[in-house]
Amino acid sequence: MYRTYRFLSAPGSAAAPGTTYDLDPATAQRTPGIFQVCMSGPTSTRPKLGDPDMPSGGQGQANVHFLDTTLGYIVVSDGAGNWRNPYSGAAV
């Protein structure tokens, strides 16, 4: 499964601190001076039960963070198959 992750540049990297990247894990390993924030992508690519890169169950696991680029903010799995807005608690 192809999934991207949101990364930020760190002080001392080639880019200004706070520069964001959406990279696959292999590319990220070859990019110095960045750190991973969370998985990222459009709503349609949120992790779900049975995804090969989510052995703990994706939506069945609580506290999985995902930067939903369709919505423009991070959503969090609640362990019951729902994604929640961490600010309001509403299902999204």
Q: Check pLDDT > 60 for residue 1.
A: no
**What pLDDT, in 10s, does the model give residues 68-85?**
999 999 999 888 888 999
Would the pTM count as exceeding 0.75?
Answer: yes
Q: What are the backbone dihedrals phi and psi of residue 47, each rounded to the nearest 5 degrees, phi first?
A: -60, 145
The per-residue DSSP string of 20-83 comes to: EEEE-HHHHHTSTTEEEEEEEE-GGG---TT-TT-TT-GGGSEEEEEEETTTTEEEEEESSS-E
**Residue 57: its pLDDT value, please?**
52
